[in-house]
Each structure stands twice: as structure tokens, then as C-alpha cells.
Structure 1
Amino acid sequence: MTIPVSTLVQVSALAAAVPQLTVSLDTDGGTTVIVGDFPEASMCTHAFRHVVANWPAHGDHQPCVDQIYFDGAEDRGPVLAQGEARWFVSEMGAQPTVVALRTVGPRSRGAEAQVRFDSVLGVSVVRLASTTLTPEALDELATEAYAACVTEHLLASAAAAA
């Protein structure tokens, strides 16, 4: 199954934001493309972001990526886990993402939230970190925060379409 461009947008945003993350992309032709900021990588994160950002939205040729693997963070559904931090991508700008995060209240639950807008990709990368929460509690909080961002994005998209 080919990975859609929308997923590659999220992967490229995470590759650029998460420290020491390497992404491997397996293609349908049997090639593996390694994305990372080290000399042996097939492509640096900066170039990967620009390739994905400039992919034709309605072109005939879809990306030929079949599998995505992360080295340096653990894939937990829509969230990447890296030590005491959890990372995910919001389809919104920084301000609406912050508003959505406030509904979950990460600070009151013992976590620090940071939001960084990626102007090349038009998405925001969210980092939740805590030295006091258990890994399971941090996973749960990050999943709730991700869901709040998805919900806010859907509501805003529906309101804009109406």
C-alpha cells in the first residue's frame, strides 16, 4: 500500500524537528531511502521537507513509499516517543494548535508543551515532555492532545466549508 503525501508531510515535519531521528522509507521498487542529518543519509531532512512540500497535490504520480521506519524514536500510533518526550504533528498553525492543547491542559497534568510551526510544510510539530509522568501517562496525554488537535482541525475545516 502506497503511503499518501499527507502522511509524508507529517513524517518530514517530524524528521526535521525530532533530535537524532532517522527515517527509513522503503519504496515499492525495493529501495530504502534514509532521511537524516548525517553524511551517510540518502537525503537530508531539509531536502526531504522540500520534496514533500512541492509534491503535486493532484498529480498522476503518487509517492512510491510502502513502509516507514523510525530510528531514534518509537512509533506509537500518531505519536513518536523519545525518552521523556512525545512528538506529533498538527495540521494547523501554531496558534490554533496551542488553543487545542489548552483544552487538554498538559501543564496542569505535569507536562510541558512546545509548538513549532513548519512554514515549508504548513503544519505544526508538538512536543510534550515530562519528568514526572510515567511513560504510559505521557503516552495517554499525548494521544489526548493529538486527538484535540485533530478535532479542532476538523471543526475548523467544516466551518470553513460551510
Structure 2
Amino acid sequence: MSTEASIQSRGEQKARKAILSLGLKPVNGVNRVTFTRGRGLVYAISNPEVYKSTNSDTHIVFGVMEMEDLAARAQQAAMEQQLAADAEKSAEGEDKTEEASAAAVADEDDGEEVDATGVEEKDIEMVVSQANVSRNKAIKALKNNDNDVVNAIMELTM
């Protein structure tokens, strides 16, 4: 067994003993086990102990489960991609800085609230993050493109 055997609770030790008495065989070479749930949630077990039933397709997994949020990970990846694109633009000699673009976005807003009826919030957030524009511009672009996220982003970035 692994070093985790010394920190097992009494209940876990009893459960392991009962499961092993059922004739389960250890599965070697498994580095990670994941369970996906709706809304981008993933439960992951790193370095698990996996056992398989000999007469069915049932697996028993022991280990410490951690929750991961794929939506947050995707948003972080999008931010990194945006930073890389900004760095590439500055390397090409464009003189527009992030402060100037933020000021331009603030000037274009005019402080008016645009009606977001019929537009999904996740689509608005996606366009804002990908096109680096204000919420109002994202809503207008989505409405101009029949709520098509890709075309709205293309309109705002071209």
C-alpha cells in the first residue's frame, strides 16, 4: 500500500478490508480519475488507488477528491490568450496601449444602459472578454448578429 495507509481512518480501513475480501483486483497505472458534473464542475482524484471487480465492469476508487471549476479554468486560459495577443500587438509596433483602449471603451459607453432582453448573460460575458469591449458594445454586437457570439466577436475585433 502507499504512504496513505498510515493516515487512514478506522472506517476507511474496514471498508478497504471488506472490498478486498470481495475479490477485487488492483488496477495499476492510473494517475488520475475524474468525475464530471453539470455546469463545468469536475471532481478529480490524483494518484488514486483503483480496484476492479473481476466479474463486472465496476471500479472502486480510493483517494482525496478535489473540485475543479472548468469555467474558471477556461476564463483564465482566455485571459492568458488575450495577454499573449496584446503582447504580440505591442511587438508589432502598435502604439495603442491598454490604458488608451480602456479609456476609449469608457468614452464609447456614454453611460447609457443598453437593453439586454433576449441576450444570454454568458454570451455577453464571452464577447466582453474575447473582444475586450464594454458590456454595452457587446450587447449591441450580439443583437446586430442575432445572438451569434462568433460573429459578434468578429464584428468588434475587425
TM-score in same-fold range (> 0.5): no
| Higher RCO (CA-CA < 8 Å; seq separation 6+) | 1
The answer to which structure has the higher helix fraction is: 2
Greater share of residues in strand: 1
TM-score, length of structure 1 as denominator length? 0.20
